[in-house]
Amino acid sequence: MTVIDHPHRKRFIFLRFISDLFLVPVIVVSAYSLKFKIGWIAQRVFWIHFGRIYHHAQIEPYIHATALVICVWLFSFYVCGMYRSFTGLMPDVDELLSIIYGVTLGSIIIGIASFLFDGFPGSRTVLLYSWAIGIGLIALSRFLISKAEQAAIKRGIGTYKTAVVGNTLPAQDIAERMILFPSYRLKFSGFIADSLPEKLHFNLRHHDTHLGTISAWKTILTDCNIQVLYIATPLTPLQLIEIDEFCRTHQIVVNHWIDFPLRGHEKIQNFDGLPFIQSPPIISHYPSQKRIFDLAVSLFLVILLAPLLIAFALLIKLVSPTGPIFYSQARVTLNNLEFGMIKFRTMVPDAETQSGPVMVDEKNENRYIRFGQFLRTTSLDELPQLFNVISGKMSLVGPRPERPFFIDQFSEDIPQFRWRHQMPGGITGWAQINGRSVLTRRPEHKIKYDLYYIRNWSFLFDIKIILKTVLVVLNREEAY
């Protein structure tokens, strides 16, 4: 999604710059005081025998070097992207990482300068303290500024009123991104369509505003003061020309969705002015750093949670002694490989003997053992899948492994559903934090999230999904 700049965005960026300008001298003085004056303050002010008093260390060299430190640090902040706009999933995490990079780079440059220039204060301890204090103070400053910016966006300040034409899946995808990522500053006003979508995306459940039919688009744009328009449904050439001309004369930004479906992995290519969609070959992959991270975290969690795992195992055996503790279910993962996905058993033994493979019915489900529904709604029944991760059959984050029966069923209408197996299945995933159990019955929605994850995978993306998963599980969003 294209980010449309707004004057308010630049004001908050400038506010970050001013904050850094004032904080850098505070950081230098604080680091000097922590090293050389903490003993003097403790003994002379509080009469506590703590620390050492340094009579030779004067603050003047640090004061004289402050101007250079400010220039170096601000330059480092700029190089490390601290003065850009942070958008997407968990922008605060991205900003914190840029702060760590910026402060670290600035500290390294100052450390080198202390070696090269005589008279430049060269205490390594002060440099280390300034690095730690710098990350803390600047992160706190950015956090407060970000909260103020988010509050302004929530009230509609510094945003563009945006409407989406159509009720297609792409139309919902566009609207959903506005809701998920308010830092784009696109305030979703509603759909312009002949009817609302029959099945709304999970994140749009509280944003199902229907502005009116497509035939009334001109009145809607005027009355609702729409500033940005996304067209995500097929229209006639005459309609497109009319909408374009109207929007140009009324200062409305128009964005056209390509009028044939994108499957989530294609790239738009320009061939001498002509747009084409390029589909790269499907390559099954499991990045090595992802595997190392999965193995390290899973082993740590198994050791940490061992008492809890044992307690749940004993509880299941106590309330349902005739059945096994664990339930292994056939699922499909990387390269279409079938494996047994392990869960704590939450239902009566042989729950599908009569019915065959069925999905859980949150309203009429009566197959749970005692405490089984609690384990399921809190996702505690998923903990044994850490052993699947250790064995290499699963990942912590990835497309949720599906049962072969349902894969065959879904693939009849959605042939690209099997493309999810380009990466190993995950305990959690991009789809799980954007609908969780709701998407189980909406494979046409689920596949978009899974292919988006595969196309945009990064180590940081995995970290963000894990953090978001914790919040989703704690809130028990759409779990049954």
Q: What is the pLDDT of residues 140-185, one digit of tens each?
A: 999 999 999 989 988 888 899 999 999 888 888 889 888 988 888 9
Same domain membership, residue 177 and residue 126: no
Same domain membership, residue 341 and residue 194: no
Strand pairing report for 395-397 and 426-428:
parallel
Q: Report the percent of the chain where pLDDT is more than 90.
A: 37
In this prediction, residue 261 carries a pLDDT of: 45
**384 pLDDT more than 70:** yes
SS3 297: helix
**48 pLDDT more than 70:** no
Cα-Cα-Cα-Cα dihedral of 315, 318, 319, 320, to 10°? 110
In this prediction, residue 280 carries a pLDDT of: 54
Domain boundary among 125, 154, 183: 154
Q: Which of 277, 279, 275, 285 lies closest to 265 in space, CA to CA?
A: 279
**49 pLDDT more than 90:** no
Asked whether residue 62 is domain-assigned, the answer is yes
Q: Which of 1, 21, 467, 477 lies closest to 230 in space, CA to CA?
A: 1
Angle at 263 between CA 258 and CA 264, to 5 degrees: 95
Lowest mean pLDDT among 110-124, 218-232, 301-315: 110-124
Asked whether residue 181 is domain-assigned, the answer is yes
Region 369-377 average pLDDT: 85
Asked whether residue 253 is domain-assigned, the answer is yes
Which is higher by pLDDT, 293 or 350? 293
Asked whether residue 328 is domain-assigned, the answer is yes
Domain boundary among 154, 178, 210: 154
Same domain membership, residue 450 and residue 359: yes
Same domain membership, residue 230 and residue 109: no
In this prediction, residue 385 carries a pLDDT of: 95
- The identity of residue 392, as a single letter, is G
**416 pLDDT more than 60:** yes
169 lies in which domain range? 160-261
CB 327 within 8 A of CB 384: no
Domain boundary among 241, 261, 281: 261
User: What letter would DSSP give residue 337?
Assistant: -
Region 236-246 average pLDDT: 88
When pLDDT is cut at 50, 70 and 90, the band that residue 115 belongs to is confident
Asked whether residue 402 is domain-assigned, the answer is yes
How is residue 456 written in tokens? 């945009």
- The identity of residue 14, as a single letter, is F
The CA-atom distances, in angstroms, between 57 and each of 53, 54, 355 are: 9, 6, 81
Express each pLDDT in 424-437 by its tens digit: 999 999 988 887 66
Which is higher by pLDDT, 359 or 251? 251
**97 pLDDT more than 90:** yes
In this prediction, residue 354 carries a pLDDT of: 58
**439 pLDDT more than 50:** yes
Asked whether residue 457 is domain-assigned, the answer is yes
Region 343-350 average pLDDT: 86
Express each pLDDT in 7-28 by its tens digit: 778 889 999 999 999 999 999 8
CB 194 within 8 A of CB 213: yes
Same domain membership, residue 106 and residue 175: no
Same domain membership, residue 128 and residue 28: yes
When pLDDT is cut at 50, 70 and 90, the band that residue 266 belongs to is low
Same domain membership, residue 313 and residue 460: yes
Indicate the number of domains in the chain.
3
In this prediction, residue 476 carries a pLDDT of: 66
When pLDDT is cut at 50, 70 and 90, the band that residue 421 belongs to is confident
Region 286-295 average pLDDT: 85
CB 105 within 8 A of CB 66: no
In this prediction, residue 53 carries a pLDDT of: 58
Lowest mean pLDDT among 278-282, 436-440, 474-478: 278-282
Same domain membership, residue 421 and residue 352: yes
Region 243-268 average pLDDT: 73
Asked whether residue 289 is domain-assigned, the answer is no
Q: Which of 33-37, 235-239, 376-380, 461-465 has the highest mean pLDDT?
A: 461-465
**235 pLDDT more than 60:** yes
In this prediction, residue 299 carries a pLDDT of: 95
Same domain membership, residue 138 and residue 26: yes
Same domain membership, residue 227 and residue 114: no
In this prediction, residue 387 carries a pLDDT of: 95
Asked whether residue 201 is domain-assigned, the answer is yes
**125 pLDDT more than 50:** yes
Same domain membership, residue 445 and residue 323: yes
Q: Which of 443, 246, 406, 421 lies closest to 329 in space, CA to CA?
A: 406
Same domain membership, residue 431 and residue 349: yes
| CATH value at residue 197 | 3.40.50.720
Mean per-residue pLDDT of the chain: 83
